[in-house]
Amino acid sequence: MAEQQVDLKTIPVSPEGEHEETSQVDMDGKLVTVFHDKDNFNVKHPLQNKWTLWFTKPSSGKGDNWNDLLKEVITFNSVEEFWGIYNNIAPVSDLALKSDYHLFKEGVRPEWEDPQNKHGGKWSYSFKDKRNCDINDIWLHTMLAAIGETLEEEDDGEVMGVVVNVRKAFFRIGVWTRTIGKSIPNRGDGDVAGGKGRSVQKGQDILMQIGKRFKEILKLPANEPVEYSGHTDAAHSGSTRAKAKFTV
Protein backbone atom coordinates (compact mmCIF):
# COMPACT_ATOMS: atom_id res chain seq x y z
CA MET A 1 0.00 0.00 0.00
CA ALA A 2 1.23 3.50 -0.78
CA GLU A 3 0.87 4.69 2.81
CA GLN A 4 3.48 2.13 3.79
CA GLN A 5 5.89 3.27 1.09
CA VAL A 6 6.16 7.01 1.57
CA ASP A 7 5.24 9.81 3.90
CA LEU A 8 3.78 12.67 1.86
CA LYS A 9 5.40 15.15 4.23
CA THR A 10 8.85 14.06 3.04
CA ILE A 11 8.23 14.85 -0.64
CA PRO A 12 9.06 18.35 -1.95
CA VAL A 13 6.00 19.56 -3.82
CA SER A 14 6.83 23.17 -4.62
CA PRO A 15 9.99 25.29 -5.13
CA GLU A 16 9.53 26.72 -1.66
CA GLY A 17 9.07 23.26 -0.14
CA GLU A 18 5.57 24.17 0.96
CA HIS A 19 2.60 21.86 0.64
CA GLU A 20 -0.15 23.71 -1.12
CA GLU A 21 -3.50 21.99 -0.84
CA THR A 22 -6.74 22.16 -2.73
CA SER A 23 -9.12 20.66 -0.20
CA GLN A 24 -12.71 19.58 -0.17
CA VAL A 25 -14.60 17.24 2.10
CA ASP A 26 -16.70 14.15 1.55
CA MET A 27 -20.29 13.66 2.68
CA ASP A 28 -19.14 13.05 6.26
CA GLY A 29 -16.97 16.16 6.34
CA LYS A 30 -13.70 14.25 5.93
CA LEU A 31 -10.86 14.96 3.54
CA VAL A 32 -10.46 12.30 0.85
CA THR A 33 -7.01 11.42 -0.50
CA VAL A 34 -5.79 8.85 -3.02
CA PHE A 35 -5.08 6.55 -0.08
CA HIS A 36 -8.79 6.47 0.79
CA ASP A 37 -10.34 6.58 -2.67
CA LYS A 38 -8.05 6.59 -5.70
CA ASP A 39 -10.86 7.61 -8.07
CA ASN A 40 -12.47 10.43 -6.11
CA PHE A 41 -9.71 12.03 -4.07
CA ASN A 42 -9.99 15.79 -3.61
CA VAL A 43 -6.74 16.79 -1.88
CA LYS A 44 -3.79 17.52 -4.17
CA HIS A 45 -0.15 18.34 -3.48
CA PRO A 46 1.01 19.96 -6.75
CA LEU A 47 4.36 19.16 -8.31
CA GLN A 48 6.70 21.81 -9.67
CA ASN A 49 6.38 20.36 -13.19
CA LYS A 50 3.93 18.18 -15.09
CA TRP A 51 5.28 14.73 -15.93
CA THR A 52 4.34 12.16 -18.57
CA LEU A 53 4.75 8.41 -18.19
CA TRP A 54 5.67 6.51 -21.36
CA PHE A 55 6.00 2.78 -22.03
CA THR A 56 7.97 0.94 -24.70
CA LYS A 57 6.53 -2.47 -25.45
CA PRO A 58 8.82 -5.28 -26.62
CA SER A 59 9.59 -5.51 -30.31
CA SER A 60 8.19 -8.47 -32.18
CA GLY A 61 11.46 -8.72 -34.08
CA LYS A 62 9.72 -8.05 -37.39
CA GLY A 63 11.03 -4.57 -38.07
CA ASP A 64 8.67 -2.73 -35.72
CA ASN A 65 8.73 1.05 -35.96
CA TRP A 66 9.95 2.76 -32.78
CA ASN A 67 6.98 5.12 -32.79
CA ASP A 68 4.63 2.14 -32.81
CA LEU A 69 6.38 0.62 -29.79
CA LEU A 70 6.54 3.84 -27.74
CA LYS A 71 3.23 4.61 -26.04
CA GLU A 72 2.24 7.69 -24.04
CA VAL A 73 0.46 6.48 -20.90
CA ILE A 74 -0.63 9.50 -18.84
CA THR A 75 0.36 13.01 -17.70
CA PHE A 76 0.05 14.10 -14.07
CA ASN A 77 0.97 17.07 -11.87
CA SER A 78 0.33 16.08 -8.26
CA VAL A 79 1.71 13.69 -5.66
CA GLU A 80 -1.67 11.98 -5.33
CA GLU A 81 -1.98 11.40 -9.07
CA PHE A 82 1.52 9.89 -9.13
CA TRP A 83 0.61 7.35 -6.44
CA GLY A 84 -2.70 6.58 -8.11
CA ILE A 85 -0.81 5.77 -11.32
CA TYR A 86 2.06 3.94 -9.63
CA ASN A 87 -0.28 1.62 -7.74
CA ASN A 88 -2.16 0.68 -10.91
CA ILE A 89 0.64 -0.18 -13.34
CA ALA A 90 2.82 -3.26 -13.54
CA PRO A 91 6.02 -3.12 -11.46
CA VAL A 92 9.29 -3.17 -13.39
CA SER A 93 10.02 -6.70 -12.17
CA ASP A 94 6.86 -7.95 -13.93
CA LEU A 95 7.57 -6.34 -17.32
CA ALA A 96 8.49 -8.45 -20.34
CA LEU A 97 12.05 -8.38 -21.61
CA LYS A 98 12.88 -5.40 -23.87
CA SER A 99 10.27 -3.24 -22.14
CA ASP A 100 10.97 0.29 -20.87
CA TYR A 101 9.32 2.86 -18.64
CA HIS A 102 10.11 6.52 -19.32
CA LEU A 103 9.07 9.37 -17.00
CA PHE A 104 9.70 12.74 -18.69
CA LYS A 105 8.64 16.32 -18.23
CA GLU A 106 5.48 17.12 -20.17
CA GLY A 107 6.22 18.06 -23.76
CA VAL A 108 9.49 16.12 -23.96
CA ARG A 109 9.45 12.84 -25.88
CA PRO A 110 11.87 10.18 -24.57
CA GLU A 111 13.88 10.23 -27.79
CA TRP A 112 17.35 11.46 -28.72
CA GLU A 113 15.85 13.47 -31.58
CA ASP A 114 13.53 15.58 -29.40
CA PRO A 115 14.65 19.25 -29.56
CA GLN A 116 15.04 19.32 -25.78
CA ASN A 117 17.15 16.16 -25.74
CA LYS A 118 19.30 16.18 -28.86
CA HIS A 119 22.11 18.26 -27.35
CA GLY A 120 22.07 16.28 -24.10
CA GLY A 121 23.01 12.93 -22.66
CA LYS A 122 22.36 10.63 -19.75
CA TRP A 123 23.73 9.18 -16.56
CA SER A 124 23.14 5.43 -16.49
CA TYR A 125 23.92 2.28 -14.58
CA SER A 126 23.22 -1.38 -15.35
CA PHE A 127 22.35 -3.86 -12.60
CA LYS A 128 23.69 -7.14 -13.95
CA ASP A 129 22.84 -9.20 -10.87
CA LYS A 130 19.10 -9.08 -11.45
CA ARG A 131 18.23 -11.61 -8.76
CA ASN A 132 19.73 -9.50 -5.99
CA CYS A 133 18.51 -6.15 -7.32
CA ASP A 134 15.35 -4.61 -5.86
CA ILE A 135 14.61 -2.85 -9.13
CA ASN A 136 11.10 -1.81 -8.09
CA ASP A 137 12.37 0.12 -5.07
CA ILE A 138 15.25 1.67 -7.00
CA TRP A 139 12.99 2.78 -9.86
CA LEU A 140 10.43 4.18 -7.43
CA HIS A 141 13.02 6.31 -5.65
CA THR A 142 14.48 7.46 -8.98
CA MET A 143 11.04 8.65 -10.06
CA LEU A 144 10.44 10.36 -6.70
CA ALA A 145 13.76 12.18 -7.02
CA ALA A 146 12.76 13.36 -10.49
CA ILE A 147 9.26 14.62 -9.67
CA GLY A 148 10.45 15.96 -6.31
CA GLU A 149 13.14 17.99 -8.14
CA THR A 150 15.91 16.70 -5.86
CA LEU A 151 18.32 15.55 -8.58
CA GLU A 152 19.33 19.15 -9.30
CA GLU A 153 19.05 22.67 -7.99
CA GLU A 154 15.94 24.69 -8.84
CA ASP A 155 17.55 26.84 -11.57
CA ASP A 156 19.73 24.16 -13.19
CA GLY A 157 17.12 23.10 -15.77
CA GLU A 158 19.01 19.99 -16.80
CA VAL A 159 16.93 16.93 -15.88
CA MET A 160 14.54 15.95 -18.69
CA GLY A 161 13.46 12.54 -17.47
CA VAL A 162 14.34 9.11 -16.10
CA VAL A 163 14.26 5.72 -17.79
CA VAL A 164 14.37 2.05 -16.81
CA ASN A 165 15.19 -0.70 -19.33
CA VAL A 166 14.36 -4.37 -18.80
CA ARG A 167 16.80 -6.64 -20.63
CA LYS A 168 17.73 -10.32 -20.44
CA ALA A 169 21.11 -9.72 -18.79
CA PHE A 170 20.43 -6.55 -16.79
CA PHE A 171 18.17 -3.77 -15.57
CA ARG A 172 19.41 -0.31 -16.59
CA ILE A 173 18.30 3.00 -15.08
CA GLY A 174 19.16 6.38 -16.56
CA VAL A 175 18.72 10.12 -15.97
CA TRP A 176 18.51 12.22 -19.14
CA THR A 177 19.83 15.79 -19.19
CA ARG A 178 19.26 18.69 -21.57
CA THR A 179 22.95 19.36 -22.22
CA ILE A 180 26.33 17.67 -21.96
CA GLY A 181 27.63 20.52 -19.85
CA LYS A 182 27.87 23.10 -22.62
CA SER A 183 25.76 26.16 -23.34
CA ILE A 184 23.44 25.60 -26.31
CA PRO A 185 23.02 28.45 -28.82
CA ASN A 186 19.41 28.99 -29.88
CA ARG A 187 19.70 28.90 -33.64
CA GLY A 188 15.99 29.29 -34.28
CA ASP A 189 15.61 25.73 -35.58
CA GLY A 190 13.37 24.52 -32.79
CA ASP A 191 16.14 23.88 -30.28
CA VAL A 192 15.46 24.84 -26.70
CA ALA A 193 18.48 26.57 -25.21
CA GLY A 194 19.78 25.09 -21.99
CA GLY A 195 22.24 26.75 -19.64
CA LYS A 196 22.42 29.90 -21.73
CA GLY A 197 25.46 31.94 -20.75
CA ARG A 198 26.70 29.16 -18.49
CA SER A 199 30.42 28.38 -18.56
CA VAL A 200 31.54 24.90 -19.59
CA GLN A 201 32.98 24.35 -16.11
CA LYS A 202 29.71 25.37 -14.46
CA GLY A 203 27.74 23.12 -16.78
CA GLN A 204 29.95 20.16 -16.05
CA ASP A 205 29.81 20.83 -12.31
CA ILE A 206 26.01 20.68 -12.50
CA LEU A 207 26.11 17.39 -14.41
CA MET A 208 28.54 15.90 -11.91
CA GLN A 209 26.29 16.91 -9.02
CA ILE A 210 23.32 15.23 -10.73
CA GLY A 211 25.42 12.12 -11.21
CA LYS A 212 26.42 12.04 -7.54
CA ARG A 213 22.81 12.41 -6.38
CA PHE A 214 21.72 9.70 -8.82
CA LYS A 215 24.42 7.37 -7.49
CA GLU A 216 23.18 7.92 -3.94
CA ILE A 217 19.67 6.89 -5.00
CA LEU A 218 21.08 3.73 -6.58
CA LYS A 219 22.85 2.95 -3.27
CA LEU A 220 26.06 1.97 -5.01
CA PRO A 221 29.46 1.59 -3.29
CA ALA A 222 31.98 4.37 -3.84
CA ASN A 223 34.13 2.23 -6.14
CA GLU A 224 31.25 1.33 -8.48
CA PRO A 225 31.15 3.92 -11.32
CA VAL A 226 28.06 5.50 -12.85
CA GLU A 227 28.72 6.69 -16.41
CA TYR A 228 27.59 9.70 -18.41
CA SER A 229 27.43 9.67 -22.22
CA GLY A 230 26.07 12.03 -24.86
CA HIS A 231 23.11 11.14 -27.04
CA THR A 232 24.99 12.22 -30.18
CA ASP A 233 27.84 9.84 -29.35
CA ALA A 234 25.36 7.03 -28.78
CA ALA A 235 23.63 7.76 -32.10
CA HIS A 236 26.96 7.74 -33.97
CA SER A 237 28.01 4.49 -32.32
CA GLY A 238 24.66 2.90 -33.15
CA SER A 239 24.25 1.85 -29.54
CA THR A 240 22.99 3.14 -26.20
CA ARG A 241 26.41 2.17 -24.83
CA ALA A 242 28.51 5.09 -26.04
CA LYS A 243 31.92 5.93 -24.55
CA ALA A 244 31.56 7.64 -21.18
CA LYS A 245 32.27 11.37 -21.00
CA PHE A 246 32.19 11.45 -17.19
CA THR A 247 32.00 8.99 -14.32
CA VAL A 248 31.17 9.35 -10.62
Instruction: Give average pLDDT by consecutive 10-residue segment, the chain, 248 residues.
Output: 39 36 48 65 84 93 81 94 93 96 98 94 97 96 98 95 97 97 58 65 95 97 95 66 77
Give the total number of structural domains in the chain: 1
Q: How far is Cα 24 from Cα 54, in angstroms, rounded to an integer?
A: 31
Among 178, 207, 183, smallest CA distance to 195 is for 183
Decide if 38 is inside a domain: no
The three-point CA angle 35-36-41 to 5° equals 85
Give 122's DSSP letter. Answer: E
The answer to whether 160 and 108 have CB atoms below 8 angstroms apart is yes
Decide if 39 is inside a domain: no
Decide if 167 is inside a domain: yes
pLDDT of res. 21: 40
Taking the whole predicted model, whether its pTM rises above 0.85 is answered as no
Decide if 107 is inside a domain: yes
Q: CATH code at 229? A: 3.30.760.10
Decide if 117 is inside a domain: yes
Decide if 11 is inside a domain: no
- Kindly give, in sequence order, each residue whose CB lies less than 8 Å from that of residue 156, ignoring residues fewer than 6 positions away: 206, 210
pLDDT of res. 39: 66
Decide if 183 is inside a domain: yes
Q: 189 lies in which domain range?
A: 52-73+92-247
